[in-house]
Structure 1
């Protein structure tokens, strides 16, 4: 069945997210999660992007989560780590000029997409399906360099405003990690585009 192509605004539901009821913040859980990330960055920095995904998924109760890094030279966002139902797509990515991550980077703020494949048609081949995708950008010296994203695959499962706040928190930590890796010249391996990745 052919998926109808919609305009970008038709697949963005950020304003709807703002109107949804939300659970109260659990600041203790959030603080513990950030402490765990800090410890992981110190003890096992090579695993920190995966830990960011695990944390984003747990805090937002998502079914998948990932990190996207902007590789400007390749014109792509690269996914160095993915957790959950989309884990098989690690090292894949999306075009920097036509995709959810690019939209978020351009707007410099979180965005909620519903069925983004209805606009970004190359996403239609991804399984499990993308019911809702919530993305938050992170920055280095004020410039956006990547996103942290969370996904619901099950029809009817939806994000809440609290999930956006929590994803923002994880994204802020991701920006810190990016800066550390850049300073220690250890970022390059995470920016590599997978051979044969022609998505988009």
Structure 2
């Protein structure tokens, strides 16, 4: 079933041969009652407490939960206690770890010195005389499958028994349900945060839209010789502004290359504004990157219209970009507008731009010169195809 090297360290059969004390069912009943109370009232505290209970019940030197992340092909160590607590958050490969073997066996697994087979354990400087693992599985209507493992480590070999495996299995069943509850709570809170962010963003966009339209009306009126010319110019700019808003969307396709280039995005977003000079190569974008680039430069143009170079007839924006190695480098430079200085606090729009760049693992630097704002943005090209 397993490769010879792994089979050599699996000693699960020894559990039934080892002596163990009488089970304390009353103590277990009270412990589970307390855990159930915590699950109902403070679900976030259940798993750390459950791990501590597993360590105490098995007289282990360390214990923890390995949460399965199939998308990443790995386990993440969570709620680690005892001698291995420093490795909280460590990732272990799904297809080459004691946890992976345990899920494949679908039952308790006892191993002796797994570091002799798994080099990532050995390279971390971890010595494991004996480890007992049990799978965490959810069996519920509409949801079934492995979610991770619960494990305990002994200070010496020959420590764990069949009784330890029984207690750990019962705790694992409780832990699987608790883990799903915690993850559901996290998803709910994330959804609420996203909804609040969306509400703030929509309010911000409406206020900006009104400010931009007002600025366009004033500038168009100054450069028009008749009401007919004003109407023609303003209508064209409003149509361009509408197209830009359509591009800044909140829904996406499959995240693959969309066929849109950075130049196309910038041309659409910046078409409502006069005196914007652009220079740079075609860079293909994925759906998410298309939305992000549109949002970033729509926000920068809006701010320039309200406070910067685009708020005056003489002001200009020079926008240039290039690909250097594995990075996209963009420079936004304003000149000819009012004298500017760094604001005392960061507004919602600036925060939105900064967080959008960060989501693509990018960097952003703002420089406030008297003649105008200069911004540099660097984003890994690999993150532009998503």
Q: TM-score, normalised by structure 1?
A: 0.84
CA drift of 1:126 comes to 4.1
Where 2:8 maps in the other structure, the secondary structure is: helix
2:21 matched to 1:19?
Answer: no
2:73 matched to 1:75?
Answer: yes
Question: For residues 41 and 138 of structure 1, what CA distance do their matches in structure 2 show?
Answer: 17
Change (3 A) 1:148 1:187: farther
Partner deviation per Cα, 1:19-69 (whole Å, 9 max, x = no partner): 111111110111122122112222322222211210110111111000111
Where 1:21 maps in the other structure, the secondary structure is: coil
Match of 1:195 in 2: none
| Deviates most, 118-127 or 14-23 | 118-127
Question: For residues 20 and 94 of structure 2, what CA distance do their matches in structure 1 show?
Answer: 32
Change (3 A) 1:56 1:127: farther
CA drift of 1:160 comes to 1.3
Change (3 A) 1:172 1:35: same
Change (3 A) 1:41 1:103: same
Question: For residues 91 and 117 of structure 2, what CA distance do their matches in structure 1 show?
Answer: 16
Match of 1:169 in 2: 170
Residue number among 149, 152, 158 corresponding to 1:150 in the alignment: 152
* Contact 1:112/1:135 (<8 A) preserved: yes
Match of 1:50 in 2: 48
| Deviates most, 133-142 or 110-119 | 133-142
Question: For residues 101 and 121 of structure 1, what CA distance do their matches in structure 2 show?
Answer: 15
* Contact 1:67/1:82 (<8 A) preserved: yes
* Contact 1:13/1:113 (<8 A) preserved: yes
CA drift of 1:136 comes to 0.5
Question: For residues 42 and 181 of structure 2, what CA distance do their matches in structure 1 show?
Answer: 13
Unmatched segments (≥5 aa) in structure 1: 1-5, 190-200
Change (3 A) 1:188 1:94: farther
Unmatched segments (≥5 aa) in structure 2: 191-386
Change (3 A) 1:119 1:160: same
Question: For 1:27-46, what aligned pairs fall within 5 Å after superposition?
Answer: 27-46=25-44
Question: For residues 186 and 66 of structure 1, what CA distance do their matches in structure 2 show?
Answer: 23
Match of 2:127 in 1: 129
CA drift of 1:16 comes to 1.2
Match of 2:367 in 1: none
CA drift of 1:128 comes to 5.3
* Contact 1:23/1:160 (<8 A) preserved: no
Match of 1:178 in 2: 179
CA drift of 1:93 comes to 2.5
Question: For 1:94-113, what aligned pairs fall within 5 Å after superposition?
Answer: 94-113=92-111
* Contact 2:67/2:148 (<8 A) preserved: yes
Change (3 A) 1:170 1:188: farther
Question: For residues 104 and 12 of structure 1, what CA distance do their matches in structure 2 show?
Answer: 10
* Contact 2:44/2:182 (<8 A) preserved: no
RMSD across aligned positions (CA): 2.0
Change (3 A) 1:102 1:187: farther
Task: Return the index of the structure with the highest Cα Rg.
Answer: 2
CA drift of 1:156 comes to 4.4
Q: TM-score, normalised by structure 2?
A: 0.45
Change (3 A) 1:179 1:155: closer
Q: Indicate the structure with greater helix content.
A: 2
* Contact 2:66/2:148 (<8 A) preserved: yes
* Contact 1:11/1:115 (<8 A) preserved: yes
